[in-house]
Amino acid sequence: MYVCMMCAAELQLSENQLTSLPAELQQLRELRRLDVSHNRFSIFPEAVFQLPALATLNASSNAIVAVDAERYSGMEALTDVDLQQNPLAEAVHSAAGGLSRPRVRLSPWQEHFQDME
């Protein structure tokens, strides 16, 4: 049986203690769902922005403090982003929460996260 990895529609990478994603991830042009939750990301994985078919992203429960939330708007297929349980900087939290599309799920911002900015 032939399996086309470049044609994968879903990739489950949760709970692997990842701190980054390889640039080669962008070769998964058909990827629609990506789960990188429960890892050790502190910076949002840049490779995610290069996935044209991505519709659902779960990046919850990491240590992400920074992400250029406005870049989500340029991802035409993206409809749902889960960033809950991340210590996002206040400005990032506000920008992501203010997007009309995609839907971005956030935990309530907590003032003690400000020390991480």
pLDDT digits (tens, 9 = 90+) for 15-50: 999 999 999 999 999 999 999 999 999 999 899 999
pTM over 0.85: yes
pLDDT of residue 4: 63
Tell me what the mean pLDDT of segment 86-102 comes to: 90
Q: Which residues pair with 11 in a beta bridge?
A: 34
Task: Supply φ then ψ for residue 104, to 5 degrees.
Answer: -115, 120
pLDDT of residue 1: 46
Cα separation values, 32 from 9, 22, 53, Å: 5, 17, 5
Q: What is the pLDDT confidence band of residue 5, given thresholds at 50, 70 and 90?
A: low
